[in-house]
């Protein structure tokens, strides 16, 4: 299996799990969003670190920390990634627990447009005419959807921007995905622990104070947080930024279906029209990408035969 196919498998698995996230966070809607966030940070750090030790990479993670300390640019990039993904986690949890699942879906529909734009700006990635046309179509669909809201969808825009920035930062970081996540959560761990101490002092903490089902869900939140992020980081390193950008539509489509079909959130005709435009853009972009990939493989095979 070549690296691009591996990247596709990693990315689709990550996006599929993220798409099902509302099912999980809905079970914790009785817990304050900030406590869910800090619980994600703490337990993600614990489980990821245990996994690193289990696969005998203790020396490697120590070397990573030394590299970060000596390379200030890499250090600040990973610190920024840690802060940005924490913001994204909070926004998503808040959206789901406050009945804004469709808003969260909109955020992840907008996100690939920003990701593609960042790919062109920061990585000099080139798009074919059909791919550029499909980007403009998707942008038009998002614009219609935004106008139909009647106001600026700040929650959706912040979700989109935060994850696009995280994707750019992670693509520039050369540290292994699993160890990178352990270090990311290590950066935010002190703040999470301080906040937990504050909750304990004010008797507002839910963990260990409500029921065992809630405790287990909060603990396992670290696992469901860490696993898709590791998959995403592995996929992002093997795929071009533009392809990662458009594959991300897989997640909001699942989230949208859950929001409308399962949680009965409103879905207007204008929203249906705009989502249809976006889906058309996805089909165009995907078809164009497959054709371009086959052309490159054919040229490569021809050159190899001549050699």
Going residue by residue through the chain, which has 307 residues, state the pLDDT in tens, using 9 for 90 and above.
677 788 888 888 988 998 999 999 999 999 999 999 999 999 999 988 988 888 888 888 899 888 888 888 888 888 999 999 899 999 999 998 888 888 888 888 778 778 878 888 888 877 778 878 888 888 888 788 777 767 777 888 899 899 889 888 887 777 777 788 889 899 999 999 999 899 888 888 899 888 999 999 999 998 888 888 778 877 877 887 667 766 777 888 888 889 888 888 887 787 788 878 877 887 787 777 767 766 766 565 555 555 5
Could you give the CA distance from residue 92 to residue 107 in angstroms, rounded to a whole number?
Answer: 9
CA triplet 165, 166, 168: central angle to 5 degrees?
Answer: 65
Are 159 and 108 in contact, with CB atoms under 8 Å apart? yes
Q: Which residues contact 247 (CB under 8 A, 6 or more apart)?
A: 8, 11, 12, 15, 112, 239
pTM attached to this predicted model: 0.80
Ordered alpha helix ranges (H), the chain: 3-19, 21-26, 33-54, 58-70, 72-97, 101-122, 129-149, 154-172, 177-202, 212-238, 241-247, 250-257, 269-306
Q: Which residue has the tokens 């698995």?
A: 13
**Phi, then psi, of 13 in degrees rounded to 5:** -65, -45
Calculate the alpha carbon distances from 119 to 4, 38, 127, 170, 216 in Å. 17, 31, 10, 13, 39
């Amino acid at each position: 299996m070549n690296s691009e196919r591996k990247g596709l498998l990693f990315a689709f698995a990550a996006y599929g799990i993220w798409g099902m996230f509302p099912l999980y966070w809905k079970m914790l809607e009785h817990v304050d969003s900030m406590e869910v966030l800090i619980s994600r940070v703490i337990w993600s750090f614990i489980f990821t670190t245990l996994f690193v030790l289990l696969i005998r990479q203790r020396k490697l993670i120590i070397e990573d920390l030394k590299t970060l300390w000596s390379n200030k640019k890499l250090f600040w990039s990973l610190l920024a990634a840690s802060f940005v993904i924490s913001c994204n986690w909070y926004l998503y949890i808040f959206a789901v627990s406050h009945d804004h699942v469709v808003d969260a879906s909109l955020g992840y529909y907008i996100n690939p447009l920003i990701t593609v734009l960042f790919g062109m700006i920061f990585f000099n990635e080139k798009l074919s005419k059909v791919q550029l046309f499909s980007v403009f179509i998707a942008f038009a669909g998002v614009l219609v959807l935004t106008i139909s809201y009647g106001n600026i969808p700040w929650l959706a825009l912040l979700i989109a921007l935060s994850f696009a920035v995280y994707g750019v930062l992670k693509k520039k970081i050369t540290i292994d995905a699993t160890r990178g996540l352990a270090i990311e959560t290590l950066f935010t761990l002190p703040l999470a622990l301080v906040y937990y101490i504050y909750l304990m002092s004010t008797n507002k903490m839910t963990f260990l104070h409500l029921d065992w089902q809630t405790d287990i869900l909060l603990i396992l939140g670290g696992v469901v947080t860490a696993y898709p992020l590791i998959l995403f980081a592995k996929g992002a390193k093997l795929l071009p930024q533009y392809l990662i950008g458009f594959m991300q539509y897989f997640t909001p489509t699942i989230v949208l279906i859950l929001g409308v079909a399962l949680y009965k959130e409103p879905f207007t005709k204008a929203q249906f029209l705009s989502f249809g435009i976006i889906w058309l853009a996805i089909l165009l972009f995907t078809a164009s990408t497959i054709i371009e990939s086959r052309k490159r493989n054919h040229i490569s095979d021809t050159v190899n035969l001549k050699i």
